[in-house]
Amino acid sequence: METRYPNFWKTIDEYIAPMEQLHRKIWDSTYFMRNDDSLVFCEGYCHPRKGLWGKIIYYPREEGDVSIHGRPYECITKRLIDDEMIYITHPAQIARQCEIDPSLDRVRPPYAEYELEFPFEQFVGHFDCRKSLRIAMGHYPRIDAAARQVSEVLEVPIKRMGVTGSLAYGVYDPHDEDFDVVFFGTVEENRRVVERIYDITRDPSHQVIEYNKLWPMRFHHNGVLVCPFFVYSEWGEVPLKDFRVELIKEKIRATARVCEDRHAIYMPAFLQLDQLVVDGERRSPMPLIIYDGALRGDFKKGDEIRTSGMLVRVSQGREEFEAVLVNLYNQIRKVK
C-alpha cells in the first residue's frame, strides 16, 4: 500500500511515534494506528492490561468518502448525507466496528459499553498530541497563529498544549475553523483555564452552538473555533484509573443536584451528587460518572439533573463505593 499512497505515508511517518515510546500510562484523547492502518481514538484512564479501550474512527476503504492525505477512508462516526456529515449512533458504530473485525466483539464492562478492547499488539504506533502540535505549527502558519492566540488569551504556555482530532495525524484543512486543542495541567491549572473560557463565553458572540446544543467549553476566537480537551498532567490526581465496575441495577431513574464539579471537564467526568432520589427513594450523596466524551464540562456545581443511567459499585484499590453511571449522552439532561 505504501507505493500507492506515497503522500499518505510521508505525512504519517512524520507524525506517528512507535509504540515503544508510549508512556506507560495512557493519556486521554490519544490516537493510535492499527496494523490495518485504521485510526483508533482512545479515551479515559482505565484500560485493559496490555491494551486499551477505544473506537475506530477511520477505516481504510477504497469506497470511503473521506480523504486522509490522499488515501480513501470510511468514517465510522459520521456519514456524508446530502453534502452534510451526520452523526452515526453509538450502537451502530459498535456494530460496524465488529463487522470490520469480529474479534472485537467481546463482553465489555458497563462504562465501556460503547468502546472496544484493542490489544497493544494490534498497533503500529500512536500520535503524541504535543509532538503533533509542534509539527503542525511548523508547517501551517494558520495553526501556528491559532496556537499562539489561544495560548495568550487563556494564559497557557504552548508547552502544555497539544492537538487531537485529525490534526493529530497531520490532516490540515485551511477551510476548517475547528482547533481541537489539548490542555495538560494539574486540576487547579486546568480549572483556571476553564474559568477563563467561561469569562470569554459570557459574550454570546463567542459561544458555540452545534447540533442543537450549546457547547459550554468551546468558543470562537478571531475566526477559530476552539474545542478544548483537558488532560491530567499528574497521574495521582486522576480520580478514576484502573478501576472495576459491578452492575447493581441496569437502569434507574434519578434526580439530583451537582454539589461538586472539580473533575467535570475530563473524560470520564466525575462529579458529586446530593439531593439524590433513585427510583423514588432518597439516597445518600454519591458520585456521578459520565463515560461519554461528548459531555465533558456540560454539568457544573448547582445544576439539577435527571438521568436514566445505571447504579454501579466501583472498586479501585482498597476503595469501594456506589455511583450513578452514564455511558451515553442521551441518558442525562440538565433540568435547572
For residue range 127-145, list pLDDT tens digits in order.
999 999 999 999 999 999 9
Q: How far apart are CA 222 and CA 202, in angstroms?
A: 16
Q: How far is CA 158 from CA 155, 228, 267, in A?
A: 9, 14, 22
Q: How far apart are CA 57 and CA 37, in angstroms?
A: 11
Q: How far apart are CA 80 and CA 85, in angstroms?
A: 4
Helix (H, G, I), strand (E, B) or coil at 12: helix
Instruction: Write out the three cell numbers for 58.
Output: 477511520
Q: Which of 266, 281, 262, 274 is nearest to 304 (CA)?
A: 274
Backbone phi, then psi, for 162, in 5-degree steps?
Answer: -145, -175
Of 2-6, 67-71, 140-144, 150-154, the poorest mean pLDDT is in: 2-6
Instruction: Write out the three cell numbers for 247.
Output: 452492575
pLDDT in tens, 210-239: 877 889 999 999 999 999 999 999 999 999
Q: How far apart are CA 42 and CA 123, in angstroms?
A: 12
Local confidence band at 80 (pLDDT 50, 70, 90 cut-offs): confident
Q: How far apart are CA 181 and CA 133, in angstroms?
A: 9
Provide the residue type at 133 as one letter. L
- Which pTM value belongs to this model? 0.94
Local confidence band at 2 (pLDDT 50, 70, 90 cut-offs): low
Q: Is the pLDDT of residue 175 over 90?
A: no
Identify the bridge partners of residue 179 per DSSP, sorted by sequence position.
Answer: 226
CB 215 within 8 A of CB 172: no
Residues 6+ apart with CB under 8 A from 210: none
Residues 6+ apart with CB under 8 A from 213: none
Helix (H, G, I), strand (E, B) or coil at 99: helix
Q: Is the pLDDT of residue 1 over 70?
A: no
Helix (H, G, I), strand (E, B) or coil at 283: strand
Q: What is the DSSP string of 155-200?
A: T--GGGEEE-GGGGGT---TT--EEEEEEEE-HHHHHHHHHHHHHH
pLDDT in tens, 245-256: 999 999 999 999
pLDDT in tens, 257-276: 999 999 999 999 999 999 99
CB 116 within 8 A of CB 76: no
Q: Is the pLDDT of residue 3 over 70?
A: no
Residues 6+ apart with CB under 8 A from 82: none
Average pLDDT value over all residues in the chain = 94
CB 75 within 8 A of CB 61: no
What pLDDT does residue 84 have?
A: 76
Q: How far apart are CA 312 and CA 249, in angstroms?
A: 7
Sign of CA pseudo-dihedral 89, 95, 98, 99: negative
Q: Which of 224, 243, 253 is nearest to 311 (CA)?
A: 253
Q: How many percent of the chain have pLDDT more than 90? A: 88
Q: Which of 18, 93, 1 is nearest to 55 (CA)?
A: 93
Domains of the chain: 6-127 (no CATH), 129-236 (3.30.460), 243-334 (2.40.50.140)
Of 21-25, 198-202, 205-209, the poorest mean pLDDT is in: 21-25
- Rounded to an integer, the average pLDDT of 187-198 is 97
Local confidence band at 17 (pLDDT 50, 70, 90 cut-offs): very high
Q: Which of 142, 153, 147, 131 is nearest to 30 (CA)?
A: 131
Q: How many percent of the chain have pLDDT more than 70? A: 99
